[in-house]
Amino acid sequence: KADITEVLEKKLKPRAIVFKNDGKMRESEGLESYVEHALGDITEAELRENGVRFVAPVVEGQKTGYFYDHRLGRAALAHYVKGKTVLDLFSYIGGWGVQAAMFGAKEVTCVDASTLALDYVHKNAELNGVGDIVSSIEGDVFEICKALKEEGERFDVVIVDPPAFIPRRKDQKAGEVAYQRLNQMAMRLLSKDGVLVSGSCSMHLAEPTLLDIVRKTARTLEKELQLIERFPQGPDHPIVPAIAETNYLKAMFFRVLPQS
């Protein structure tokens, strides 16, 4: 750790360095869980993604505070959201939702269970001058989707980017059921000819399996699918063929149509 800190200070001259070693998997590996400031004292960091400004909670937020790995897919939102209503499920601090607003969406609704995350959604929306476009709903995403359906709400674009539902191999069956349920709820909330963005960060869920889950879900709902685009993680999250865990991220853009 001392060597890493020394190299970072020499090469990057950072204002702060934080060792964020409090992930869920550390307990299963028998490792201590802790957050340590190796340099400076920082609670949040400013950043840009696809030209959009964000403030991320480095200490209290999830992992490093922000997820750059989906930025290729987020950049593609610009082709689909202009003048549209957008629902961002598991929004975290607004990586998808705030960018959708910046790309011309008419209305964006972010849904997350975390008060902290949604506070940052609004902070980031205001930071980019789209505070009047972005709203939020706090609570269980599945329950909120059910309530929105019962209220007759519909959205032109629904983004599904949940946390890993399959953290371990033993969670495979239950996780696949959760992905199926979530994508089905998302499809039920789509307007006619709407766009579904379905993502997953579960290494144990291969892209063909997610595609099959979405396909079967559409068939159950008597919908037809067009797979428009697909995106892996960004190149700064390289895939090492010898390490399966490095190939984990996927995002697919679907057009959802009534059966002809």
Give catalytic residue positions. 201
Residues 229 and 253: beta-carbon distance below 8 Å? yes
38: which 2 tokens? Answer: 């190796």
Structure tokens at 88: 């961002």
Dig out the tokens for 111 from the structure: 């849904």
Q: Please give the Cα distance from 213 to 207 (Å, whole number).
A: 10
Residue keyed to tokens 């607004």: 94
DSSP for residue 33: P
Encoding tokens for residue 163?
A: 């946390």
**Percent of the chain as helix, strand, coil, to the nearest 5:** 35, 30, 35
- Helix 172-188 crosses helix 207-220 at what angle (to 10 degrees)? 50
Q: Which of 108, 157, 130 is nearest to 53 (CA)?
A: 130
Rounded-to-integer distance, Cα 48 and Cα 120, Å: 15
Per the CB < 8 A criterion, the answer to whether 130 and 101 are in contact is yes
Residue with tokens 């379905």: 198
At residue 25, what are phi and psi to the nearest 5 degrees?
A: -75, -15
